Chains A and B, each alone.
Chain A
Amino acid sequence: MELALFILFGLLAVAGALNLLFQRHPINSALSLVVVMMSLAVLYWSLGAEFLAAAQVIVYAGAIMVLFIFVVMLLNAGEEEQTHGSKIAYIVGIPGAGAIFCLLSFVFLSERSHLGSTALGGYLSNAVSNISEISHVLFTSLLLPFEVTSILILVAILGAVVLARKEL
């Protein structure tokens, strides 16, 4: 059951990502990205990370992507023109992407024991509540990174306010 979910939504995520690249209209690309986000959320959930899944849907698919689409609509961006691109992109890009893929999969496979792993659907038995676990970790051992991140976001908000104030 979990395997079927994984295959289905894994394929959907890959298809959405490819569609994102091949679509010529920005709105269609943005919507493909929404599909990718949603499929990732299902994958997280099938791994037992239901809080992460919900956050993925609410934050990424529900807020950030809506803003993307909002901007595309507001600017009324038309279809992109298809260009052939530079030759360097073809010569360097494709082997480069392949090399990065190989490197990442090598690292993930060889360091598997250090990274830790979870079984598909392993945590779905309701044995542990993963929200309380996440919050416990977040507010004890990872408190400093958490607070630093929130300050970073605050700085970003202040920056946006400063930029917007010129026009007020």
Chain B
Amino acid sequence: MSHLTNFEVFLLLSILKIAVVLVITLMGVAYTVLLERKFLGHLQNRWGPSRVGPFGLLQPLVDGLKLFLKEDMMPLAVERPLFVLAPIIALGCALISIAVVPFGRTTMVHGVDLFQIANVNIGLLVVLGVTSIGVYGITLSGWSSNNKYSLFGSLRSTAQVISYELALGLSLVGIVLRAGSLSLRDIVNSQAAHGALSWNIFGGFQFVAFFIYLMAAYAETNRSPFDLPEAESELVAGYHTEYSSMKFAMFFMAEYANMITVACVATLLFFGGAASPFGHTFDHVASGAIASGIISIFWFVAKVFAFLLLYIWVRGTLPRFRYDQLMDFGWKFLLPVAMVNILATALALAYHG
């Protein structure tokens, strides 16, 4: 690669990273759906998909093909441009935030970090900003469908997402205070010293923040027990009632991509990202650059996977909230607790540090 200039190397590696991460994320989305169906099936004492391929492993591909081949219905009364735009916004925003996630240890090749697409110094704010733009997908889909169930679904969803965004943002302030930076890489590095003991959730005493984040994130991604926007017993299918074929698939993928993003951010902020839980104890076992890179990715994926399982477990266990309970919970419980957590963290840091 010696005859290429620095910029060309940067450009090529960036394109490569984007392509690889995008493909892996989309595959991850497809297989999270399968994971959910299998795991949920076992929770309910049945098999889940098991016919296509060994253990039903080819099911996501067949599902994708099915959705692709279905007729793309365009109802007559819809507001056409917004109706088409809404799923694109939803899926686009869901996929963009992966760009700032560092999914492995810092591995520089020709001055480019291999395991992170963009190391932005306000990475955390970028994630929050992109998520807050993602609301438009849901809002506009409900409104442009010209269907009262869709509208109800999207009104619920918008109100819910705006309310829980506050608690979500405030729960992360403690982490930012501890790390002293908004860059996700810096936040991960600040937890890498002593393995699991220096992770924010244990060593940083941020477990309150973690539970606030977890609940707010479930609400933010419209997952059960906060899945009121698509409560099928009340609203048919919520905001995507009128959607079919690939447009429906885009909403579906956006939901699962959001789950993955939330799991990634939780891993980065509270569980040390790609750092091993044993710290540097076993560094001598695999000390090569390639081996340690692979091991760091393994830890990251394992943590994200655990979060996804937790998501599904919660879905299989908890009943749905009522709407006023949801709002009360967000505003009257999570928000004050998040503020108290900020105060406590700030005082502790001022006292000790």
Contact = CB atoms under 8 A, between A and B. Distances in A.
Contact of B139 (A58, A63, A73, A126): A73
Interface stretch (B40-48, B129-137, B311-319): B129-137
Given A61-B132, A62-B135, A50 B121 contact: yes
B154 A57 contact: no
Interface string A14-49: 000000000000010001001000100000000000
Interface string B141-176: 011000000010011001100100100010000000
Given A57-B133, A129-B121, A66 B158 contact: yes
Contacts of B343: none
B143 A27 contact: yes
Interface-centre pick from A38, A69, A74 (highest chain B CB count, 10 A) = A69
Contact of B129 (A54, A66, A73): A54
B336 to A, nearest CB: 14
Contacts of A126: 121
A67 interface: yes
A27 B141 CA distance: 12
A143 interface: no
Contacts, number: 70
Contacts of A129: 121
A61 B155 CA distance: 17
Contact of A73 (B120, B121, B154, B182): B154
A54 B143 CA distance: 27
Given A67-B162, A74-B155, A51 B133 contact: no
A62 B137 CA distance: 12
A31 B136 CA distance: 9
A5 interface: no
A34 B135 CA distance: 12
Interface residues of A, number: 22
B236 interface: no
A62 B220 CA distance: 13
A70 interface: yes
A96 B235 CA distance: 51
Which 6 pairs across A and B sit closest by C-beta, in order of nearness?
Answer: A62-B132, A54-B125, A57-B129, A58-B129, A73-B143, A50-B122
Given A54-B128, A73-B154, 12 more contacts: A27-B143, A57-B132, A58-B128, A61-B129, A62-B128, A62-B133, A62-B135, A66-B162, A67-B162, A69-B140, A70-B158, A131-B122
30 contacts: A27-B82, A27-B140, A27-B143, A31-B82, A31-B136, A50-B120, A51-B122, A51-B125, A54-B122, A54-B126, A57-B132, A57-B133, A61-B129, A61-B132, A62-B128, A62-B129, A62-B132, A62-B133, A62-B165, A63-B132, A66-B132, A66-B158, A69-B143, A70-B155, A70-B159, A73-B142, A73-B155, A129-B121, A131-B122, A131-B182
